[in-house]
Structure 1
Amino acid sequence: MLNHMRTETNGRSLWMALAVAATLSPGLARANEANGDAPPLVGVVTVERKEILMTKDAPGRIAPMRIAEVRPRVSGIVLERAFEQGGVVEKGAVLYRIDPTQFQIDLDSARAAQAKAEANLFQAARQEDRLKALLNGQTTTQAQYDLALAAERQAEADVMAQKAAVRRAEVNLEYATIRAPITGRIGRALVTEGALASENQVLPFATIQQMDPIYADFTQSVAEMSALKEEMERGGFKPKEGAVRTRLILENGKTYPLEGKLLFSDVTVDPGTNQVTLRAQFPNPEALLLPGAYVRVQIEQGVRANTITVPRQAIQRNNAGGAEVFVVNDQGRAVLQPVRLGRTLGDQVVVEEGLHPGNRVVVEGFQKFMSGGHVDPRPASRGRTEAERG
């Protein structure tokens, strides 16, 4: 019983001591100042209005510039695969060879039929010439001549039909050699030697993707586009002249070394997401960007004038989640100032309300002072160095 009472007494004493310490902390800080202790060094930045380049980050996917599924256009047995899987193929390069025997036979037969039709035409033409001479000498009838003329024209039509049959046979023979329809990187072979190819088959032989240059498709919400348009109408924002430059942030967080350009914005809104699709084009000579890869697209939207920004490390959060910064006032005290933030641009944050040009915002040395305490403000780079020394 006695031990229990002592435990409760000690617990109350501890809580009272903590409460008193918390109450006296600002007073102790003022007492230290009164004792002549030097105020702590802090790094500050002086707020100014300036013209900044506004950028937008959006999630996106890499897409090939062209994609072609290699399919047979005639039926037959596959004799050979003539490409290296995963390699680059040029337009017109041989990819597969289908057994050409039947197509060669069809071509020879069509050529023979054409020769026969040409012989018939020769005979019909000679007959028409003879009867025309006899008709002029009035030794034959007009009806006999008309029959000869009709036979000649029919022979001419037969020759044309056989020429078409020869061309068809030549095309089928050409189709027995499957060639690359575009230049690009070819994937794995989905058909091997000995397989039966069909001109109506669903499964492609392989897929070729042109990846240099390459596309990055990303989206932007309609609300953001409307807000941007309103700001442009107010004159606080002006679009960037010339081609809109874009950059890629890879999945590993690194920036792709080559810049791209914005090609177009879609003309319709996705009803499911209320977003518009945009497309940018990037050079890809080393094939570092692969179709389907996740990226973040950073696009330069334009230039905004009279904008205040502060480093991200200057932003504090209160218990309600609101944003605040420490501002050094004319008395040399660091006081909290509520702010309304805009978008984040790299290591800077746009401040829409709460700061004015000339304000000194603390960015280094937060652990050395309390709100309302005296500080010794120095420019951020110098303040950081001396704070490290301390």
Structure 2
Amino acid sequence: MRFELYLTIAIALAACGKDAPGAPAGGGPGGKPGKPVEVGIITVKAEPLTLTKELPGRTSAFRVAEVRARVNGIVLKRLFAEGSDVKEGQALFKIDPAPYQAALESAQAQLTRAEANVESAQSLAERYTKLIETNAVSRQEYDDAVAKMKSAKADVAAARATVKSARINLDYTTVKAPIAGRIGRADVTEGAYVQQTGATLLATVQQLDKVYVDMTWSSAEALRMRRALEAGELQTVGGEAKVTIIFEDGRDYGTPGTLQFTDVSVDETTGSLSLRAVVPNPKGELLPGMFVRARLDEGKHPNAILVPQRAVTRDQTGRAVAMVIGKDNKVERRQLVTDRAIRDNWLVSTGLAPGDRVIVEGLQKVRPGAEVTTVAVSPAKQASVGSGSATK
């Protein structure tokens, strides 16, 4: 029984030593080497790349003017269509002018009386000037005549000021647009009583031929960008940094704007800096209060290296690594430093050089030192590498 058991084990061991039909070659000592694995690769290229930054922003009117009452009275008529464009100086409201017209006429009458008094006082002063030379009148009488003439002239100046003030108040009964722009809804209706002391709000006019886009940015990144602007490393339009506006639906606004640094203080709670862009708005597509994204051109990288994100993995320490084809078509592990993600690619700062062949397909089938055969991945299957712009 024991002999039969030993015989069975020996036969089994002998069978294991033979190559099974169809088994891959090179599995044991002295066997033929295994067939190299086929992998898809891309060849690294360096190309110019415009680096950009997208920030959330909110639009606001370039100029805002609140139309308020400057005299007391009853609103007789509204002279504009709500939501329409108005010109600077265009009449918007008519306030009852009757009391102010009466005040103007009264002031003009007082001016006429004062001017008449001046003529009488001046004639008397001129006569006394001749008479005082011959001592026909006393010095006191002469001084009184001259003083009366000066007092009459002062009354004329005061009356003229009263007329001017009355005319201004009368003009204020026709409320005009202080700026050109788009007017919103009327805050008062015909028959409403408006007051000068409370400066009753009548309507609001907003200038929209260009708009502001207010954004917030990390102070550290903003300072870095400011230095780049001063060094001339950023793409500029008319001496200012270029800004592209993106609507909520992802559509680009066709007209670029320019960046302005308007806030010089950093928010202590968020550590962010407020930025403001000025964007032309000739068609009125941008309305105050809209949420948009602003794409800022940070600068151009003359020799940027981009690799598809699927070609880069992370090791146990979290460092970026890629598999590169080295000498004799053998796989090498290469540690990378990536700057930022650009769509489906990584912008690589160090670790790769132009001409390196990076594995993008078949990574799970290879290990460092393994010999492989390579197949170039077609451009249609690669991530968009050569678009020439980047967003962080």
TM-score, scaled to structure 2: 0.78
- Give the Cα separation in 1 of the matches to 2:281 and 2:328: 57
Local SS of the residue matching 2:240: coil
Count of equivalent residues: 352
Aligned to 2:375: 377
Distance 1:229 1:207, change over 3 A: closer
- Give the Cα separation in 1 of the matches to 2:316 and 2:308: 21
Q: Paired residue for 2:186, among 173, 189, 203?
A: 189
The correspondence of residues 139-288 of structure 1 with structure 2, limited to 5 A, is 139-201=136-198, 204-226=201-223, 238-240=233-235, 242-288=239-285
Which amino acid is 2:349 matched to? E
Local SS of the residue matching 2:306: strand
Residues 1:84 and 2:108 aligned together: no
- Decide which structure has the larger Cα Rg and report it: 2
- Give the Cα separation in 1 of the matches to 2:247 and 2:186: 29
Q: How far did 1:313 drift?
A: 5.5
Q: Paired residue for 2:134, among 130, 133, 137?
A: 137
Q: How far did 1:208 drift?
A: 1.1
% same residue: 36
Residues 1:64 and 2:61 aligned together: yes
- Give the Cα separation in 1 of the matches to 2:282 and 2:118: 59
The correspondence of residues 9-28 of structure 1 with structure 2, limited to 5 A, is none
Q: How far did 1:302 drift?
A: 2.1
Q: How far did 1:266 drift?
A: 2.5
RMSD of the TM alignment (CA)?
Answer: 3.4
Unaligned runs of 5+ in 1: 1-26, 385-390
Q: Higher mean Cα deviation, 180-189 or 346-355?
A: 346-355
Q: How far did 1:199 drift?
A: 1.3
Q: How far did 1:122 drift?
A: 1.0
Q: How far did 1:307 drift?
A: 3.2
Distance 1:213 1:311, change over 3 A: farther
Kept after mapping to 2: 8 A contact 1:94/1:177: yes
- Give the Cα separation in 2 of the matches to 1:161 and 1:132: 26
Unaligned runs of 5+ in 2: 1-22, 28-32, 383-392
Q: How far did 1:84 drift?
A: 1.2
User: What per-residue deviation string (whole Å, max 9, x for no partner) do you get for residues 252-278 of structure 1?
Assistant: 111111111112352221112111112
Q: How far did 1:375 drift?
A: 5.3
Residues 1:102 and 2:102 aligned together: no
Which amino acid is 2:136 matched to? T
Distance 1:285 1:142, change over 3 A: same
Q: How far did 1:28 drift?
A: 8.1
TM-score, scaled to structure 1: 0.79
- Give the Cα separation in 2 of the matches to 1:204 and 1:305: 56
Please identify which structure carries the higher helix content.
Answer: 1
Aligned to 1:4: none
Aligned to 1:125: 122
- Give the Cα separation in 1 of the matches to 2:25 and 2:135: 137
- Give the Cα separation in 1 of the matches to 2:380 and 2:216: 42
Local SS of the residue matching 1:339: strand
Distance 1:196 1:61, change over 3 A: same
Kept after mapping to 2: 8 A contact 1:334/1:375: no
Q: How far did 1:359 drift?
A: 1.7
- Give the Cα separation in 1 of the matches to 2:261 and 2:150: 57
- Give the Cα separation in 1 of the matches to 2:269 and 2:200: 32
